[in-house]
Structure 1
Amino acid sequence: MTDMTAIVTGAGQGFGLALTESLAARRATVIACARDSARLHAATAGLPGVIALPGDVNDPEFRAELIRAAGRLDLLVHNAGELGPSPLPTLEHYPLDALRGVLETGVLAPLALTQLALPLLRASGAGTVITLSSDAAVEAYPGWGGYGAAKAALDLLAAVLAVEEPALRVYAFDPGDMRTAMHQRAFPGEDISDRPEPAAVVPALLRLLDHRPESGRYRAADLSDAERPTTTGTTAGSPA
């Protein structure tokens, strides 16, 4: 999928940045956003077609600015998320204010941005929404109740949006474990060097864009066959 305009949230590092780089290599116009302005500009400097727009997706005014900056829109990628406290607390001790922050960034902000983007996505003719999922959305891991609840809610929003907007493609994409700063925060002090770099996972998502299967939830691990990606409702392994 080339000659497209995309918005990628959380694009200053990790998977969001790796995806932005790949889309830029395909000559896409990418509105890349992240909260850390210096990091975002440094990470995207020199990438052709990338417009760095720092800001917080929880801010209604910034969400509107993102849509104005895009002008037209073919792809909306909800990559920004919030892990919550580290080390990960059990539900018994989970600070409710922290959970509100996780849900605000992981569920409410993506929905609000999608609401603003829908007219442009419908007009695209090939509008696509991608939400970043996790196996914590479908598996019960101690300590992952807050983050997993947000991802489970986002999965359901994506599924309902797909039914309500049949002309669009809506994918909940589970990348699996990756070597990212967020994943390191989930496992403080542990060696996560055995996890793949985000750039190694991006090709699986690009297959969704290229082949445009039916809307649904897809795991990167199941997308090795570019011709026949399959949906899944369950995952295994440690949280992504």
Structure 2
Amino acid sequence: MSENRRALITGASAGFGRAVALALAERGWQLIITARGAERLEKVRAETGAQALVGDIADPAHRDEIARAIDSGRLDLVINNASALGPSPLPKLERYPVDELATVFGVNVVAPLEILQRALPALRASDGVVVNISSDAAVGAYEGWGGYGSSKAALDQLTAVLGAENPGLRIYSFDPGDMRTEMHQAAFPGEDISDRPEPETVVPALLRLLETRPVSGRYIASELPVAP
């Protein structure tokens, strides 16, 4: 990965998004980072030298702001990492508030698609890469995970079709596995999740994906070989 490459990372203020931003910045990437929390995003900006855009990707005005940032220079990589879990504790589908389900789909499916619609011309110009962060809940039937899981399944299908429609690009669903993040803790309120790996431990698998550029498709972090 050469210097002067430029990436957009959503949900970059904490967890996996922050870990990826730090790793790419260390490797010379220029970054556009976005998240809702201004204070934490500013810390990541200070650590990485990134262009930081505070806002909610569910907000069309913020997506317009992201598009303007994309248009200001080259773009080699988009990582759609920002996600909404939905209600916590996780409800069964028969009790799932449909207004909250619409919000989850808005963040996890609609927003990533519009961001990519705006980014694809720049990505084509740079022979770029898309990484949409998925979950094992997209392919497994877990009680309580129907809202989040179905949104990630929709994102996986969207990713697969975008890959078929754009054979000149590399477009990936990336399943990082369980991690010790705030969102994962919210899925298991009151439980000890200290046995889950830190997000930083998953970053090498994503870097391997970016370095090797296999065919577009769905990839699981634990199945990607990384250097010891």
Q: TM-score, normalised by structure 1?
A: 0.91
Partners of 2:100 and 2:18 lie apart in 1 by: 25
Alignment map for 1:76-225 (pairs within 5 Å)? 76-124=78-126, 126-224=127-225
Give the match for residue 75 of structure 2.
Answer: 73
Which amino acid in 1 is paired with 2:148?
Y
Structure 1 Cα separation of the partners of residues 183 and 47 of structure 2: 25
**Cα offsets for 1:139-181 (capped at 9, x unmatched):** 0000000000000000000000000000000010000000000
1:103 positional shift: 0.2
Matching residue's letter, 1:100: A
TM-score by length of 2: 0.96
When the two structures are aligned, how many residues end up with a matched partner? 224
Distance across 1 between alignment mates of 2:47 and 2:214: 33
What is the CA deviation profile of residues 112-149 of structure 1, one whole-angstrom value per residue up to 9, with x for unaligned ones?
Answer: 1100011101111x211100010000000000000000
Quick one: distance in 1 between partners of 2:132 and 2:199? 16
State the partner residue of 1:61: 61
> Residue 51 of structure 2 aligns with which residue?
51
1:180-233 Cα shifts (integer Å, max 9, x gaps): 00000000011100100000001100001101000000000000257xxxxxxx
- Structure 1, unaligned stretches of length 5 or more? 227-240
- The one-letter code sitting in structure 2 at the alignment partner of 1:187 is F
Shift of 1:57: 1.0
Q: What is the CA-CA distance between 1:63 and the residue it aligns to?
A: 1.5
C-alpha separation in 1, matches of 2:47 and 2:151: 34
1:15 aligns to what? 16
1:64 positional shift:
2.3
Question: 3-state DSSP class of the match of 2:132?
Answer: strand
Give the Cα–Cα distance (whole angstroms) in 2 for the partners of residues 153 and 211 of structure 1: 26
Output the CA distance in 2 between the equivalents of 1:30 and 1:43: 11
Q: Residues 62-106 of structure 1: CA distance to partner in whole angstroms, max 9, x if unpaired?
A: 222223223221100000000000000000100011101000000
Q: Percent identity at matched positions?
A: 59
Q: Please name the residue that 1:238 is paired with.
A: none
Q: Equivalent residue for 1:25?
A: 26
Distance (whole Å) between structure 2 residues aligned to residue 74 and residue 64 of structure 1: 19
Q: Is the 8 A contact 2:104 2:148 kept in 1?
A: yes
One-letter amino acid of the structure 1 residue matched with residue 158 of structure 2: L
Deviation at 1:44, TM superposition (A): 3.0
